[in-house]
Structure formats: structure tokens, C-alpha cells
Amino acid sequence: MNATGNKSIPLGREFFERETLTVARELLGKTLVRRIDGLLMSGRIVETEAYVGQDDLACHAARGRTARVEVMFGEAGRAYVYLIYGMYYCLNFVTEQEGYPAAVLIRALEPTEGIKTMSDNRGGRRGREIASGPGKLCQAMAIDRTLNGVDVCENQKLWVADGGGVPDDFVERSPRIGVDYAGACAMWPWRFTVAGNEFLSR
């Protein structure tokens, strides 16, 4: 164990049980870890978005409690993985109290370990092309619907480790990407990024 935390120790449930905006902000700088066939991949989280409750028209749960979003209503610390545009997956972590639908979307990573594997999973793309987007990072880490609902506080295949944080001076907020359909909600500054980071989406 050192100042940046131990990658083998998952963040506990209390981390995810807080307000979604807090979790989204605090996830910046943390390490997303994926283990598959004994192989370890990891990356520093540099971009997140908060999706909060049924009044947030951009939140999948705004249309009610359906089978797809059931996991969002569940226990904090679960992964919510869904298919988008028929071909990409997006990874979220469920937040807040059971019964309240909210989650944080992981939008971009700065690859740190297992970069070769992630690059291969991305068809040989390198550097910022590996994980600078929610679909890209899932492809890089081979994250798909089989991980939907897993408890990342108690899991051997997917978890979040400490890996340090980001000072307030380096945290920027902006409107969420790709939610123009959500009316006024689309303008809320619920996207969190590490200022000036090379590995952000877009």
C-alpha cells in the first residue's frame, strides 16, 4: 500500500452510496481495473457523467422502472452496462440508496496497465485512441453485458481502486455529451473532466 492506493483493493460500497455528483467528481483520478483470464488491465478515470433520478430526462430511469434499468434502482456499487447503437457498450456505476435510480457513466480512461492487450482489443489503435470514449473503453477492456449487475465492491473481474484523486483546480464541469434530446437537462453541467487531459473523449 502506498500514497496512490493498492490496485488490488476495491473501493467500498460507502464510496458509491453518496450523492451521484459527488461520486462522479470523486471518481476522477481513480483506477478502473479489469481482470480477464488472469490478465490485468487498468486505466486512470479522466471523464465521468452523472445520471440522477427520474426527473433527469437524460437518465434512462426517467422512463420508469423497466427491466433494462432495474439495476440502477438497486444497490450502490453495481455495474450498469448497456448496449448503445446496437454495437457499443457503456459502463456505469450505480450510486446512492437502493430504490433511487442513479449512476455515473465512465467516459474516458488514461490507460496505465495492460496497454498492449487494450490496444489489441481496439484493433491496434494506440495512445488516446484506446479509451477516449465510453464505447472505446469498454471495447478496450472487453466489458459487455455479462458484467451488467456485478458488484464491483466484491468482484474479481472488474473493480475501482483508489489510485489517487484530482485537486479541485484540475476538475472541470460541462454539459453531458449526446443527450440533446433531454431538453433543459441537457445543459446541466454534470460532466466531469480532468482539465487539459490528453485522453478525454471528443
Partner DNA sequence: CTCTCGATGCGCT
Partner DNA sequence: GCGCATCGAGAGA
Q: Is 124 in the site for DNA (CB under 7 A)?
A: no
13 binds DNA (CB under 7 A): no
- Residue 74-93 contact track with DNA, rule CB under 7 A, x = bound: ------x--xxxxxx-x-x-
32: left (phi over 0), alpha (psi -120 to 50) or beta: beta
Report how far residue 107's alpha carbon sits from residue 89's, in angstroms, rounded to the nearest whole number: 11
Residue 184: φ, ψ to 5°:
-60, -30
Alpha-carbon span 33 to 124, nearest angstrom: 20
- Is 139 in contact with 74 (CB distance < 8 Å)? no
Whether the Cβ atoms of residue 146 and residue 69 lie closer than 8 Å to each other: no
Question: Residues 92-111: x/- map of binding to DNA (CB under 7 A)?
Answer: x----------x-x------
User: Between 6 and 116, whose beta carbon lies closer to DNA?
Assistant: 116
CB of 12 to DNA, least distance (A): 22
| Positions in the binding site for DNA (CB under 7 A) | 49, 51, 58-60, 63-64, 66-69, 72, 80, 83-88, 90, 92, 103, 105, 122, 125, 129, 133-137, 176-179, 181, 201
